[in-house]
């Protein structure tokens, strides 16, 4: 399908500034950080970066605010998050504009990200009245044994470019109702949406009569994030990014006995079994593999198809890939926008070359689009690659729209292929065989944190805990009981008798 005509960089700049004005802020002009757009690959304007001294002051302010915020009743803390959710609803279109400007997401995906933020605010408001502990049966007469959850402290959030607002909201909405304060260091590629979100939370704090210092924003490069990682006053570091980043952050936080919540790489697979509804599978596969231009941590990167079905599935996917509309993410009908940087496109080209060297065949895609119209941007055709086996390149995560197709003979082999990678985030199976479906989600099935049946690997709801195993880091964010990562547990024994009875029948004095 033909590409769309791109907006000019000047038009994109004005769209971004207009969205910021409607949110209520003027971009802090200065030096140290460049706002740019992947739509044209060009810079928009310069921004003031956070200095080391300002980062120190932000943590100090958050630590001071925590002393008050931790004793504020949780339902009152929930009112701050409720007001944030209202403001997100009010400015949903403006925030979606900023995400498209800075990330290149198509309109429906950008709006979907803001809806995800609204949803987590609703969830967190309800959670503010459900931070339950428990009473435990004591072995001693006249004693009560209980478990209570208390606020943890300052939470440092380090977020990635691909979900620049949603991941922040997962952490921040939950942390705030848990009684923590937050210092946020977003990706340097997405300062505008970060400024907008932070401003709305500041406004919510004023309107909810909460301390403004419960949240602080740091704009800058890696060095600013490292200050959060190494600061002993930051009780929890929640970091989203690459496995390489996690390998650096985890040991540094552990060395100071801090906590870390890591959401790292994904190399997600879907199995297509003989009984699968192929039309349903096709829709799930194409969205999971090509949506967000392959730049989700849950993007489908490996397709494991029963051998007898492989040719038909590949033919249907090839036809679908040839029709994918690639171009301006603001334009109606576009399904695939740009990669975030030219470096990402180079990584894709390198991975495809390796795949061919390892015996693979590129069936469709892999080429560049809009090179004349936007020479500094990175528009690529999602690629479908038939592989003879799960080679070295297939076992690695390339953050681009490459889908490797593998085959299997029996279901045990399919599960083994799914699990035989270092990452363990998301997985799925397409089958109408109940035995296969149940086996896939059983203890000896998929080893991933997310295991889906008859749906793709992308598109998680906020109600479930989000995260994965192995090199994905083991963290859990968003729903279910993920809130416990943001609190500390206290076990309490109350003796309301007139005797001091020791546990385990110990006798002393």
Q: pLDDT for 350-381, tens place per residue?
A: 999 999 999 999 999 999 999 999 999 999 99
334 and 327 Cβ atoms separated by less than 8 Å: yes
- What are the percentages of helix, strand and coil residues in the chain, rounded to 5? 40, 20, 35
- Among 2-6, 26-30, 158-162, which is the least confidently predicted range? 2-6
What's the rounded mean pLDDT across residues 285-314?
98
Neighbours of 362 (CB within 10 A): 16
155 and 177 Cβ atoms separated by less than 8 Å: no
Question: Would the pLDDT of 1 be above 70?
Answer: no
Cβ neighbors of 331 (< 8 A, separation 6 or more) are 4, 5
Reading the block at residue 217, the tokens are: 């924003």
CATH class of domain segment(s) 9-264+473-490: alpha beta
What's the rounded mean pLDDT across residues 381-402?
98
pLDDT at 2: 46
For 159-213, write each residue's pLDDT tens digit. 999 999 999 999 999 999 999 999 999 999 999 999 999 999 999 999 999 999 9
pLDDT at 29: 81
4 falls in which pLDDT band (50, 70, 90)?
Answer: low
What's the rounded mean pLDDT across residues 328-344?
98
Q: For every residue of 178-222, which 3-state class applies, written as one string? A: CCCEEEEECCCCCHHHHHHHHHHHHHHHHHCCCCHHHEEECCCCH
Q: In whole angstroms, give the CA distance from residue 450 to residue 468.
A: 7
What's the rounded mean pLDDT across residues 142-171?
98
Task: List the domain boundaries for the chain.
Answer: 9-264+473-490, 268-463
Query: Long-range contacts: 240-244, Cβ < 8 Å, 24+?
Result: 240/158, 240/159, 240/160, 240/163, 240/167, 240/264, 240/297, 241/158, 241/160, 243/397, 243/422, 243/423, 243/471, 243/472, 243/473
Catalytic residue positions, numbered = 263
pLDDT at 26: 86
* Domain pair 9-264+473-490 / 268-463, same fold: no
3 falls in which pLDDT band (50, 70, 90)?
Answer: low
Question: Would the pLDDT of 218 be above 80?
Answer: yes
Q: What is the chain's mean pLDDT, rounded? A: 97
Q: 268-463 falls under which CATH superfamily? A: Aldehyde Dehydrogenase; Chain A, domain 2 (3.40.309.10)
Q: In whole angstroms, give the CA distance from residue 482 to residue 468.
A: 13
What's the rounded mean pLDDT across residues 17-35?
92
pLDDT at 316: 98
For 454-500, write each residue's pLDDT tens digit. 999 998 999 999 999 999 999 999 999 999 999 999 999 999 999 99
Q: In whole angstroms, give the CA distance from residue 90 to residue 248.
A: 39
54 falls in which pLDDT band (50, 70, 90)?
Answer: very high
What's the rounded mean pLDDT across residues 418-435?
98
pLDDT at 27: 76
């Amino acid at each position: 399908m033909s590409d769309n005509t791109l907006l000019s960089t000047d038009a994109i700049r004005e769209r971004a500034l207009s969205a910021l004005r409607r949110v209520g802020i003027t971009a802090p002009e200065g030096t140290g950080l460049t706002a740019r757009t992947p739509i044209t690959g060009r810079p928009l304007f310069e921004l003031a970066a956070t200095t080391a001294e300002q980062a120190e002051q932000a943590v100090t302010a958050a630590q001071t605010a925590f002393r008050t915020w931790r004793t504020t009743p949780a339902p009152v803390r929930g009112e701050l998050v409720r007001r944030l959710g209202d403001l997100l609803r009010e400015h949903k279109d403006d925030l979606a504009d900023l995400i498209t400007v800075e990330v290149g997401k198509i309109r429906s995906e950008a709006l979907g990200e803001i809806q995800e933020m609204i949803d987590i605010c609703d969830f967190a408001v309800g959670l503010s009245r459900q931070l339950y502990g428990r009473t435990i049966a004591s072995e001693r007469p006249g004693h009560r044994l209980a478990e209570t959850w208390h606020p943890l402290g300052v939470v440092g959030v380090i977020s990635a470019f691909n979900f620049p607002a949603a991941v922040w909201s997962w952490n921040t909405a939950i942390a705030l109702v848990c009684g923590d304060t937050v210092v946020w260091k977003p990706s340097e590629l997405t300062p505008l949406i970060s400024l907008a979100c932070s401003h709305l939370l500041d406004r919510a704090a004023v309107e909810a009569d909460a301390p403004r210092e419960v949240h602080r924003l740091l704009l800058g490069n890696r060095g600013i994030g490292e200050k959060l990682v190494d600061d002993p006053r930051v009780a929890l570091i929640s970091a989203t990014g690459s496995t390489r980043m996690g390998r650096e952050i985890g040991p540094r936080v552990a060395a100071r006995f801090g906590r870390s919540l890591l959401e790292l790489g994904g190399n997600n697979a879907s199995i297509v079994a003989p009984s699968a509804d192929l039309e349903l599978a096709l829709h799930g596969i194409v969205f999971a593999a090509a949506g967000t231009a392959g730049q989700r941590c849950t993007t489908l990167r490996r397709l494991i198809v029963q051998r007898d079905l492989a040719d038909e599935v590949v033919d249907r996917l090839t036809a679908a890939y040839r029709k994918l509309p690639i171009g301006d993410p603001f334009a109606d009908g576009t399904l695939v926008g740009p990669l975030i940087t030219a470096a990402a496109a180079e990584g894709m080209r390198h991975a495809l070359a390796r795949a061919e060297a390892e015996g693979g065949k590129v069936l469709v895609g892999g080429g560049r689009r809009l090179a004349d119209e936007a020479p500094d941007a990175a528009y690529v055709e999602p690629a479908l690659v038939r592989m003879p086996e799960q080679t070295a390149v297939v076992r690695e995560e390339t953050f681009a729209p490459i889908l490797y197709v593998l085959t299997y003979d029996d279901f045990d082999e399919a599960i083994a292929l799914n699990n035989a990678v270092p990452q363990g985030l998301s997985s799925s199976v397409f089958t109408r065989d109940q035995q296969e479906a149940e086996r896939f989600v059983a203890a000896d099935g998929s080893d991933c944190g997310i295991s889906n049946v008859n749906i793709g690997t992308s598109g998680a709801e906020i109600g479930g805990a989000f995260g994965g195993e192995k090199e994905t880091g083991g963290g859990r964010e968003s729903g279910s009981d993920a809130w416990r990562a943001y609190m500390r547990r206290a076990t309490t024994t109350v003796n309301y008798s007139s005797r001091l009875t020791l546990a385990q029948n110990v006798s002393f004095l």
